Each structure stands twice: as structure tokens, then as C-alpha cells.
């Protein structure tokens, strides 16, 4: 941990005007060792006193509750639940919560709004990385790459066989997008050169300005399930989307279709997905997100050859994670100055 402790100790010892000035700066708690760009921005700003949970692992809840007390700002990541309990523990000085994530299902927005706390998040900077990973996961799942490398490494590779390890190709396919936002469009743009025949999407309402870029057709959820050869979930997790990918949806999908989720695990009913995959109702699934995270290694989904599970790495490129960290830091600083944040969530 750097900065504030030493400063506070020096003030107590009666040292230096600079240190005394520092002690009057807004106090912020950074709940994870975020990538260096963000920490540099906070440190170089000289506008805040920082206390950092200097670890790659989440801060224990009790420690977080203790540390946020009296803070003006909080920079957090998606594993921290920012709810009434935490906001009460922080107390009335808390003005800004800045999350290093595009998703905000870990934040109790009603509670934040009620207290007049402003919220920063990190959209856009991760769109390319997430779209890229989604395409990689889709191809890995549809062309059975994990099974194939396993067979090659473990002696299952006999002679060349006509239908061995066959999968499904993108050429001439229909790709469905559930939740068309920036990420959905970016995925479609990357898939287009694979000669996809048609993009379809569903959302709470048509989004013609986004759909136009990829010539996607707006359809109902039922139609999305029925027509998609590849169905990519890109929606936010909300009370309306919780568990929406369930038996009802899977039962309408083709036996040859591939289901991909890089949004949030909570949108999928995993028992129903297991059933759909193990019964052959759908051909395969690629998941970057699950419930819970990490998914226990004993989970039934891990027993399936046609289910590829990644440990929530869609935005995990060095550039993107640093950009997210920098944006989260800039959101925090702007919020504390009372200025518009570069990316503020409208509550």
C-alpha cells in the first residue's frame, strides 16, 4: 500500500507542509491492484489520498467495509458488491464510485442514486477485446478446438477420418445476437468476413442506428432461437434478463446451433443449458462467464466435451485492462472534482 498511511503518520509527527496538505485531500479506497496506468493517474494527480488493496485477489468483505469508512471515493472492480451495507459503512462523505468494468450488475443503482453518489464505468475501451475473444470462443467451440488438441496430445489422433471432429462453419450461417450494443456490433463486424449470410438480433426494442451498420434484422426472442446457427449473448444482466437463456430458449434452438455467452453468467439457467448440451438439443456452448465465478471444477458443465468454459477473460488484453484502469481513475478524479466524468452512468 502506498501514500496515505505514510502521509498520515508524518502529519501526526508534525512533519512537512506538503504532507499536511495531503491529509486534507479527498480520501479514496482502491479495492484491487488495478493495472498501472490507473494507479499512475491517481498518484500523479496529487488530488487524492489513496489507500490500495495491493493484491490480485479480492479484498475480504469485512476489510472493505472497514476501509471505505469516511472515504470520498471508491474505485472498485466487478467482484465487489456495492450495496446498502457497503454504502452505509462508507458513510455520507462518499461522493463517487468508479468501477473498472462495463458491467454494473454488482452495483445497487437505486441505493447509489438515493444517496446522490455518482457512478463511473468503463464502456467502449473494452469493446474490441471482448469482440475478439467472443469470435475466438465461437470458433473454438464450433470447430471443437479444445477436443482436437486434447485428442492430438493424448493419442486419440489415429488416421485421417472423414467425419472425425467435424464441427459447424460460419459460411452461409445465420448469427443471432441477443442484446445489440457496441459489443454485439463489433462481434458482427468481425464475423462478417467469415461469409455469414445473415445477422439477426433481439433487444428490448429495435436499435436501427446500430443494426444498420451490420444490416441486422430485428426479430423476436423466439425467432432468434429458431433461426440462429450461432447465438451470441451480449446483453447486460438485469432483473429482466436474469435466467432468460433457459429451457424455453434452448428447446427452440436447432440441434446444430452453438450458444455463446460473454456477457454475464446470470443470464443463463445453467441446469437447463447442461440438459440442452447433454441431450443434444444444441450442438455446443462457449461460456466466458458463469454462475458462480469461479465455477467449481466439479460442476457438471465441465464434464461436457461440447462446452468450452473460459475464466471470464473477454477483456483480458494488456492494452484494454490498462485502458479500463485509466478510465476508471479519470472517472473517479473528475467525479471528485465535481466535473462531468469521461464515462458516467446516468442513474
Q: Give the binding site for ligand 3PY (CB under 6 A).
A: 78, 101-103, 126, 314-315
What residues have CB less than 8 Å from 258, skipping those under 6 apart? 138, 141, 142, 168, 229, 230, 231, 282, 283, 284, 285, 286
Between 79 and 278, CB nearer to ligand 3PY: 79
**C-alpha–C-alpha distance, residues 309 and 327, integer Å:** 29
Question: What does the chain come to in residues?
Answer: 347
Of residues 106, 150, 299, 312, which has the active-site annotation? 312
Between 229 and 323, CB nearer to ligand 3PY: 323
**C-alpha–C-alpha distance, residues 175 and 62, integer Å:** 45
49 SS3 class = strand
| DSSP structural state of residue 306 | T
Between 102 and 170, CB nearer to ligand 3PY: 102
Shortest CB 159 distance to ligand 3PY, Å: 43
Shortest CB 44 distance to ligand 3PY, Å: 24
Between 89 and 187, CB nearer to ligand 3PY: 187
Task: Find the DSSP H helices in the chain.
Answer: 4-12, 17-23, 36-45, 61-67, 84-90, 109-114, 127-142, 145-153, 182-191, 208-214, 221-227, 247-252, 270-278, 318-337
Q: Following DSSP, what letter does each residue of 84-104 receive, concatenated?
A: HHHHHHH-TT--EEEESSS--
**C-alpha–C-alpha distance, residues 302 and 167, integer Å:** 19
**C-alpha–C-alpha distance, residues 154 and 288, integer Å:** 25
Shortest CB 8 distance to ligand 3PY, Å: 33
Between 82 and 314, CB nearer to ligand 3PY: 314
**C-alpha–C-alpha distance, residues 76 and 53, integer Å:** 10
**C-alpha–C-alpha distance, residues 4 and 317, integer Å:** 30
Shortest CB 184 distance to ligand 3PY, Å: 15
Cell numbers that stand for 105 in this block? 450488475
Between 227 and 343, CB nearer to ligand 3PY: 343
Annotation marks residue 312 as catalytic: yes
Shortest CB 67 distance to ligand 3PY, Å: 23
- Nearest to 258, CA basis, from 134, 153, 168: 168
Shortest CB 151 distance to ligand 3PY, Å: 32
Active site residues: 312
Amino acid at each position: 500500500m502506498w501514500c496515505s498511511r505514510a502521509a498520515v503518520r508524518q502529519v501526526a509527527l508534525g512533519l512537512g507542509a506538503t504532507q499536511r496538505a495531503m491529509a486534507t485531500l479527498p480520501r479514496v479506497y482502491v479495492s484491487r491492484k488495478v493495472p498501472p496506468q490507473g494507479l499512475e493517474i491517481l498518484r500523479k494527480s496529487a488530488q487524492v489520498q489513496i489507500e490500495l488493496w495491493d493484491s490480485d485477489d479480492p479484498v475480504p468483505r469485512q476489510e472493505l467495509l472497514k476501509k471505505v469508512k469516511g472515504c470520498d471515493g471508491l474505485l472498485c472492480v466487478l467482484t465487489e458488491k456495492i450495496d446498502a451495507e457497503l454504502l452505509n459503512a462508507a458513510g455520507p462523505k462518499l461522493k463517487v464510485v468508479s468501477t473498472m468494468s462495463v458491467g454494473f450488475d454488482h452495483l445497487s443503482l437505486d441505493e447509489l442514486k438515493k444517496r446522490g453518489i455518482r457512478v463511473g464505468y468503463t464502456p467502449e475501451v473494452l469493446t474490441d477485446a471482448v469482440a475478439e475473444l467472443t469470435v475466438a470462443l465461437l470458433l473454438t467451440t464450433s470447430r471443437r478446438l479444445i477436443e482436437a488438441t486434447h485428442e492430438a496430445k493424448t493419442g486419440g489422433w489415429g488416421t485421417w477420418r472423414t467425419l472425425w471432429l467435424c464441427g459447424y462453419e460460419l459460411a452461409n450461417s445465420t448469427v443471432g445476437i441477443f442484446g445489440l450494443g457496441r459489443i454485439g456490433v463489433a462481434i458482427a463486424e468481425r464475423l462478417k468476413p467469415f461469409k455469414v449470410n445473415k445477422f439477426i438480433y433481439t433487444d428490448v426494442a429495435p436499435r436501427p442506428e446500430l443494426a444498420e451498420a451490420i444490416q441486422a434484422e430485428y426479430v423476436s426472442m423466439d425467432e432468434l432461437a429458431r433461426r440462429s446457427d450461432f447465438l451470441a449473448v451480449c446483453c447486460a444482466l438485469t432483473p429482466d434478463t436474469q435466467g432468460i437463456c433457459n429451457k424455453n430458449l434452448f428447446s427452440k434452438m436447432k440441434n446444430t446451433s452453438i450458444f455463446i455467452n460473454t456477457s454475464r453468467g446470470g443470464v443463463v439457467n445453467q441446469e437447463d443449458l447442461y440438459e440442452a448440451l447433454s441431450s443434444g438439443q444444441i450442438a455446443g456452448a462457449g461460456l466466458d462467464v458463469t454462475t458462480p465465478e469461479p465455477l467449481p471444477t466439479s460442476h457438471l458443465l465441465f464434464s461436457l466435451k461440447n462446452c468450452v468454459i473460459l475464466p471470464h477473460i473477454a477483456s483480458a488484453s494488456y492494452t484494454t485492462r490498462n485502458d479500463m484502469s485509466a478510465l476508471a481513475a479519470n472517472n473517479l478524479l473528475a467525479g471528485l472534482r465535481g466535473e462531468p466524468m469521461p464515462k458516467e452512468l446516468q442513474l
